[in-house]
Amino acid sequence: MDEQGGQAGQMRTSTRDLGELRERVRSWLTGRLGRPVAVSRLSQPSGNGMSSETLLFDASWDSPEGRREVGCAARMAPASEAVPVFPDYDLGKQFEVMRMVRERAGVPAPRTLWFEPDPGPLGTPFFVMERLAGDVPPDVVPYTFEGWLLDASRADRDRLQRQSVEILARLHDTPFTAEELETVAPGGSGGSAALRRHVDDQRAYYEWAHGSMRIPVLERAFAWLEEHWPAAPGPAVLSWGDARIGNVMYRDFTPVAVLDWEMATVAPRELDIAWMIFLHQFFQEVAQVFGLPGLPDFMRREDVCRTYQEITGYRPRDMEFYEMYAALRHGVIMARVWHRRIHFGEQPMPEDPDDLVMHRAAIERMLDGSHGG
């Protein structure tokens, strides 16, 4: 869950030395291009990123066509001592998915430049993509607290919302081949099988992320999913996996870069739709806890689903199930993030393990049926 740049936050994401990294990047790129390369302005943004590490830098070199200058963003798996959020980071798959959705679906993922599978140069595999300029709705301080999106007119926010939903529609309506889908998520691409595999994988991730610690509210949510399993899940499509406006760069309220494809998978359409809705609900509720109005009329379920149906002709179904699943997935991830903060001495372990889940109250309301739509 990252971005290419952004506001300074308090979450520690790296244990690497930037000076050493700059020299390593310069040496690697010089070897890759076969000519001397200058690397400057190397930095590591914070704000939205909590999983992979991002490096920003400028590269310049002389070519037969003249002087080349490229703004770059490199994505690397975190060092093991940084207590990674996820158990593994298939950067090669992410690189290929970004290329595929850009070329085949017309989704404005950043242009991919180089993939390096050898961990030798930087200590981990990594890839480099083009760095773009624009505005990203921040996680820290949340966009529901302050900033350009909160200050925008209703018409501009509606335009941003519609065009964000259009990203999902374009991605989901693209007829990727069975071979392409198998590359993203091996094991079959039928709707029922894809959903079952995704939930089973999420349960395995929960066990990995928290070991012997039980988090009761998440255990109850897993049980709720089994009791409310959709009778007929919709067809499986290529799914972004982390579909939220915090992973989109905008200019004039129009998407210019769709970021962070590390959670890409094959799943029913509703997986992305519900994630986009729930992640806004999460930040909206955080604003309300602090007595702020936030954006209550933004990314509402009925509006998002209506727009999606207008564009695709497909009516999202079983949204209560998928929003609960979104809340559960987010809860597992955020509880892992809090474990990282505890590891780095940024906060103590809570007495109640449910308090590792920032939005436990929302999940509890979903469980007892009082959350609403």
Q: Is residue 147 part of a domain?
A: no
Work out how many domains the chain is built from and give that number. 2
**CATH number of residue 327's parent domain:** 3.90.1200.10
Examine the pLDDT at 4 and tell me if it is beyond 60: no
Residues 338 and 245 grouped into a single domain: yes
b/e string for 241-278 if b means 16 or more Cβ within 10 A? bbbbbbbbbbeebebebbbbbbbbbbbbbbbbbbbbbb
300-339 pLDDT per residue, tens: 999 999 999 999 999 999 999 999 999 999 999 999 998 8
pLDDT of residue 1: 42
Confidence class for position 40, pLDDT limits 50, 70, 90? very high
Q: Is residue 299 part of a domain?
A: yes
Q: Is residue 10 part of a domain?
A: no
Residues 239 and 124 grouped into a single domain: no
CA separation, residue 343 to residues 51, 146, 205, 351 (Å): 15, 30, 19, 16
Residue positions annotated with a catalytic role? 242
Q: Is residue 24 part of a domain?
A: yes
Of 76-85, 200-209, 334-343, which gets the smallest average pLDDT? 76-85
Amino acid at position 260, single letter: D
Confidence class for position 41, pLDDT limits 50, 70, 90? very high
pLDDT of residue 9: 39
Q: Is residue 106 part of a domain?
A: yes
Residues 32 and 101 grouped into a single domain: yes
Residues 205 and 334 grouped into a single domain: yes
Residues 337 and 250 grouped into a single domain: yes
**CATH number of residue 35's parent domain:** 3.30.200.20
Residues 261 and 357 grouped into a single domain: yes
d(CA 259, CA 303): 24
pTM given for the model: 0.91
314-323 pLDDT per residue, tens: 999 999 999 9
Residues 125 and 32 grouped into a single domain: yes
Residues 342 and 243 grouped into a single domain: yes
Examine the pLDDT at 48 and tell me if it is beyond 60: no
pLDDT of residue 372: 64
Q: Is residue 141 part of a domain?
A: no
pLDDT of residue 19: 87
Examine the pLDDT at 16 and tell me if it is beyond 80: no
Examine the pLDDT at 373 and tell me if it is beyond 90: no
Residues 123 and 202 grouped into a single domain: no
Residues 88 and 224 grouped into a single domain: no
267-278 pLDDT per residue, tens: 999 999 999 999
Torsion of CA 123, 183, 112, 175, to 10 degrees: -160
Examine the pLDDT at 179 and tell me if it is beyond 50: yes
Instruction: Give the residue from 130, 165, 183 where a domain finishes.
Output: 130
Average pLDDT, the chain: 91
Confidence class for position 223, pLDDT limits 50, 70, 90? very high
- Tell me if residue 233 falls in helix, strand or coil: coil
Q: Is residue 224 part of a domain?
A: yes
Q: Is residue 326 part of a domain?
A: yes
Confidence class for position 51, pLDDT limits 50, 70, 90? low
Examine the pLDDT at 50 and tell me if it is beyond 70: no
Torsion of CA 106, 111, 114, 119, to 10 degrees: -80
Instruction: Give the residue from 130, 165, 197 where a domain finishes.
Output: 130
**Mean pLDDT for the stretch of residues 147-157:** 98
Examine the pLDDT at 10 and tell me if it is beyond 50: no
Between 53 and 47, name the one with better pLDDT. Answer: 53
d(CA 221, CA 14): 31
Examine the pLDDT at 178 and tell me if it is beyond 60: yes
> Containing domain of residue 51, as a range?
16-130
Examine the pLDDT at 246 and tell me if it is beyond 70: yes
**Mean pLDDT for the stretch of residues 91-104:** 96
Sorted by sequence, the CB contacts under 8 Å of residue 270 that are 6+ apart come out as: 234, 316, 317, 318, 319, 321, 322
Six token digits for residue 39: 């690397």
Residues 201 and 59 grouped into a single domain: no
pLDDT of residue 287: 98
d(CA 25, CA 5): 19
Count CB neighbours of 17 within 10 A. 10
Residues 219 and 259 grouped into a single domain: yes
